[in-house]
Amino acid sequence: MGHQYELSRIEKLAESLGLLSDRSTGTSKQRQGTSGAVNRIAAPGELSSYPDPETWHEWVEYDSTGEPTEYSVVPTACFNCEAGCGLLTYIDKETGSIRKIEGNPEHPGSRGRNCAKGPATVNQINDPQRIEHPLKRDGPRGSGQWTRVSWDEALDDIAGEMRDAIVADRGNEITYHVGRPGHEEYMDRVIQAWGVDGHNSHTNICSAGARAGYGLWHKYDRPSPDFANAEFILLLSAHLESGHYFNPHAQRIMEGMQDGGQLAVVDPRLSNTAAMADFWLPTQPGSEAAVLLAMANVILDEDLYDAEFVRNWVNWEQFLDEEFPDRERSFESYIETIREVYAEFTPAFAAAESGVDADTIETVARKIGTAGDRFASHIWRSAASGNDGGWQVSRTLHFLSVLTGSVGTKGGTAPNAWHKFDPHLPNEPPRQRLWDELQLPPEYPFAHYELSQLLPYFLKEGRGKLSVYFTRVFNPVYTYPDGFSWIEALTDEEKVGMHVALTPTWNETAYFADYVLPMGHSPERHDIQSQETHAGTWVTYRQPVLREYAEREGEDVEFTYEANPGEVWEEDEFWIELSWRLDEDGTLGIREHFESPYRDGDGDAPAKMTVDEYYRYIFEHEDNLVELAAEKDMTPLEYMKHHGAFEASENDYELHRESLDESILDADDVTVDEYGTIRRGEKPSSASASDDSDVLGVMVDGEPKRGFPTPTGKQQFYSRTMAEWGWDDLEYTVPHYLKSHVHPENVDYENGEMVLVPTFRLPTAIHSRSSNSKWLEEISHNNPVWLHTKDADRLGLETGDLCRVETEIGYYVNEVWVTESIKPGIAAMSHHMGQWKIDRPDNDESDVQEGGDPYGKVTVDLNTEAGRWGMRQVEGIHPFESDDSDSERVWWTDGGVAQNLTHAPHPDPVSGMHCWHQKVTIRPAEADDYYGDIYVDTERSFEIYREWLAETKPAPGPDGLRRPKWLKRPIAPPTDSGADAGWFVDGPIGRPGRWDPESLSTTADEE
């Protein structure tokens, strides 16, 4: 709207001389503001941030010339990180295209606010080199030769390969490998319908370390902090500006601080978050657990712990029985015992390990203890993903929540599942009964999620093969350590039979696929998402907005690719169509799970489920949503299409205290054991054999309560499960401090070695999907090596100088940024930069040219010989011609350096997490080094993999188990007796060969 204002004398003089137009009434903007032709959306003097949802389909805005534009505003959800923030797309009714993207105020998590990545989605949609049609390899794999095919051709070919594997009892040679999840249980349902154990993920390079530590406490493997109501917040990451769910969490952290709360950040780097904190604790990488235990020591010694919570909700009796059987089994004895156990972890000890001042550690500890049940904390990657033993970091962090009684409280930290939407699915298939040793091998019984980062080495040593390998928004060649070993595996057709890349963009992994199938960005696809952003539960509906707009305008759309650009499709419909063709006549028992829950077919042929029917079914089975939709005279599906999100519950606190019906205690098969655990049936022979279904709750003060899904129904301070698998020292059975592989004892500082911290990111980066966004790339396009001034002086380096960073398996060359925002002796470098495309000659015979996102991908020359790989940048970022005039305005030349290629595999022997921190030597670049040069020896990488593998304690565990039944795992086989064969080392594996960890060889499977 136009605004009135008083002109200055200079402006009035300039107007009278004709040097300026009449700025008070002469511009179209001012005429617009005074003509009365524009309807105000707020009263004079008031502002409105968003249009009213009732006006979304008939919304009018005025541009800078005063001309109106009619929009249909359609909600969806962002897909550029895991937070799932709400978006509103503004579809120009004249052109039918998306004009701009803003936040959705109806979204309970993001509340209408977005980071830069959300609005930048419009760049991704208009990417001048996006993939718009299905492509099939038309030459050797990795040759860059492609031909366009139809969706029917691709579906039939892929379904045929899958059918052959399933019929031949090689179902586990089908693997779905996801990089950016977004669905709530959709793919679980699909894979279960196929009857295979085919789920793989990126989690073991992301969060498996933190998950394992949390999971050992209470099975739930992610935290849900209530930052807005916290009195004290402790973050082990750069969380506020670049961490997990950073937009929704950042909002609430700021709210908590504005309300008087304080913030402490543990990070060797002075991140933006640390700079805004009340306390910055720049720890030596790997020392974090020592610092946290020192804080626990202070809380115990100064009686700041919550005795009621610890007494009633922690398995302290079992701890005393198992580890100190000669001591009195009393709560007072337990407190005295753990004071002794942690006596060595004084603030002075932690200061010596971490380099953080002992007084600061004590001060923060008292702040935590004083905050009590309003202490909130979070860790996701950071120290838990950087260090050998990093799972003990999250475990010791949660120990502070347990001691303060802040588990699930208002202002505390809850289990994530308390704040996650759990959909009721149509035609749900039974759980598959296989166990794929290529995903969860016997060496890693405690791995939280699949050992995906080791897949190339598993293939190399002959553990199995892949007949059909789906990579979905997943780019391991770029994001994983030692991406060259991935190229070696993907180009070997004996190891990987058919590689299908489902991706919205060209990426380094798709270059080595057989099919590249274009999948939509967030406004071009269906799915639902729910994340633990605060003490409530919400679900957001991601939808293809052009399809929704077309249907609002009365058009019939059968498939989403009919409304999207080109033939860009979506995964939901793709999997329905593929599964239907996989089981053409229904004899495999797959097709029935994709039949319509509402319609009958013609004659004997069943009706295929549509994507609308799938989500209609889910939404109609959420009672609160049904009620809310009815109030607006809508069906639940109509409500979600119009509003885009729904809050299922709020203020979900202390669910473990929920009372149970006392009549359960009268059942003949229900008993209460010596620890107060309410059980149904016989007590399992081991903690590992419990699947938590036998635990109904826990007795507290004579009343049955819900408790936690663990073998005792309580918080597991002591893990009998760890002891049963040979990890029986106190360093493993209770929260403790494990020295990292980059502990100073293991780093030769005198001879120039340093610790590289590569686990942080910039808030404008999208893993490997930023390079197609001109706005994001203009903001952030390089990732220099952070060096402290002392280290730079020692090395004779200044900001902008080239340095060579030497790792265990090679080196890379990058620029230096000299700063005092990093701890001396530590180097740091952001990931999410340095994407590349291969320098290829134009192929006049190919009808498709391989793309490369020229806003952010550099062009490289790639060479290999006998496992030794070299990469050199031959062309940086530069202006280019396209339909977007901005492409000729590109001013930056730098695309960053792909450091992950040079990282050796470091699988933690317990959690399976890749330990990202690297021991490196940094020196000035040599005369023939160029910016971005990379060298890697993949044979040495394989040797290091074997060295770390030797530190594991393989299955079998108690009673021949592969893994403790009560711990989480994706798409798990049934745990019920008689149906649980997959959980045992001699159970069905869906492959012709079985791996022997002792001989490091495969033998024919006799199943």
Q: Given this model, what pLDDT does residue 852 score?
A: 83
Structural contact between residues 451 and 436, judged by C-beta atoms closer than 8 angstroms: no
What is d(CA 593, CA 428) in angstroms, rounded to the nearest whole number? 6
pLDDT of 81 strictly over 90: no
What is d(CA 247, CA 842) in angstroms, rounded to the nearest whole number? 42
Single-letter amino acid code for the residue at 323? E
Kindly state the percentage of the chain with pLDDT values over 90: 86
Largest CA distance in the chain: 99
pLDDT of 63 strictly over 90: no
Its pTM stands at: 0.95
Q: Given this model, what pLDDT does residue 6 score?
A: 65
What is d(CA 340, CA 917) in angstroms, rounded to the nearest whole number? 32
Q: Given this model, what pLDDT does residue 32 score?
A: 46
Q: Given this model, what pLDDT does residue 232 score?
A: 98
CA angle 532-538-542, nearest 5°? 105
Which helix (H) or strand (E) element contains residue 863?
strand 858-865
Q: What is the pLDDT of residues 824-883, one digit of tens each?
A: 999 999 988 999 999 988 766 667 889 888 999 999 999 999 999 999 999 999 999 999
Strand order in the sheet with 375-378: 279-281, 262-266, 232-235, 375-378
pLDDT of 497 strictly over 60: yes
Q: What is the pLDDT of residues 951-1001, one digit of tens each?
A: 999 999 999 999 999 999 989 999 998 999 999 999 999 999 999 999 999
How does DSSP classify residue 229?
A: G
Segment 239-263 shows an average pLDDT of: 85
Count the Cβ atoms, other than its own, within 10 Å of residue 68.
Answer: 12
pLDDT of 23 strictly over 70: no
In the numeric block, the tokens 């974090």 are attached to 288
**1 vs 753, more confident:** 753
Confidence of residue 11 (pLDDT cuts 50, 70, 90): low
Segment 743-753 shows an average pLDDT of: 94
pLDDT of 35 strictly over 60: no
**How far apart are the two ends of the chain, measured CA to CA in Å?**
74
Single-letter amino acid code for the residue at 551? E
Q: Given this model, what pLDDT does residue 810 score?
A: 98
pLDDT of 1006 strictly over 70: no
Task: Please provide the DSSP assignment of 758-825 as one string.
Answer: -----TT--TT--TT-HHHHHH----PEEE-HHHHHHHT--TT-EEEEE-SSEEEEEEEEE-SSB-TT
pLDDT of 574 strictly over 50: yes
What is d(CA 291, CA 735) in angstroms, rounded to the nearest whole number? 12
What is d(CA 985, CA 942) in angstroms, rounded to the nearest whole number? 25
Q: Given this model, what pLDDT does residue 242 score?
A: 67
In the numeric block, the tokens 């032709």 are attached to 37
Structural contact between residues 255 and 533, judged by C-beta atoms closer than 8 angstroms: no
Q: Given this model, what pLDDT does residue 71 score?
A: 97
Kindly state the percentage of the chain with pLDDT values over 70: 95
What is d(CA 474, CA 492) in angstroms, rounded to the nearest whole number? 19
Whether omega before 956 lies within 30 degrees of 0, making that bond cis, reads: yes
Q: Given this model, what pLDDT does residue 901 score?
A: 98
What is d(CA 591, CA 604) in angstroms, rounded to the nearest whole number? 14
The angle, 0 to 180 degrees and rounded to 10, between the axes of the packed helices 288-301 and 358-371 is 60
What is d(CA 385, CA 462) in angstroms, rounded to the nearest whole number? 28
In the chain, the domains with their CATH numbers are 53-114 (2.20.25), 219-418 (3.40.228.10), 659-733 (no CATH), 744-950 (2.40.40.20)
pLDDT of 1 strictly over 50: no
Q: What is the pLDDT of residues 231-244, one digit of tens each?
A: 999 999 776 666 55
pLDDT of 208 strictly over 80: yes
Q: In 3D, which of 462, 579, 638, 269 has the Cα closest to residue 999?
A: 462
Using CA atoms, how far residue 74 sits from 100, 123, 647, in Å, is 11, 18, 19
Segment 186-210 shows an average pLDDT of: 94
What is d(CA 273, CA 261) in angstroms, rounded to the nearest whole number? 15
Q: In 3D, which of 607, 495, 584 has the Cα closest to residue 159?
A: 584
* Strand pairing report for 68-77 and 86-92: antiparallel
Count the Cβ atoms, other than its own, within 10 Å of residue 367.
Answer: 19
What is d(CA 427, CA 420) in angstroms, rounded to the nearest whole number? 22
The mean of the pLDDT values for the chain is 93
Q: Given this model, what pLDDT does residue 31 score?
A: 45
Residues, the chain, total?
Answer: 1007
Q: In 3D, which of 293, 316, 312, 310 has the Cα closest to residue 368?
A: 293
**246 vs 911, more confident:** 911
The angle, 0 to 180 degrees and rounded to 10, between the axes of the packed helices 331-341 and 316-323 is 60
Q: Given this model, what pLDDT does residue 311 score?
A: 98
pLDDT of 179 strictly over 90: no
**272 vs 18, more confident:** 272
Q: What is the pLDDT of residues 103-145, one digit of tens each?
A: 999 999 999 999 999 999 999 999 999 999 999 999 999 999 9
**What is the signed CA dihedral for 312, 314, 318, 324, rounded to 10 degrees?**
-100
Q: Given this model, what pLDDT does residue 4 score?
A: 47
What is d(CA 620, CA 583) in angstroms, rounded to the nearest whole number? 28
Question: How many C-alpha atoms does 492 have within 13 Å on its Cβ side?
Answer: 16
- Exposure string of 642-678, with b = 16+ CB inside 10 Å and e = fewer, is bbbbbbbeeebbbebeeebeeeeeeeeeeeeeebbbb
What is d(CA 291, CA 287) in angstroms, rounded to the nearest whole number? 7
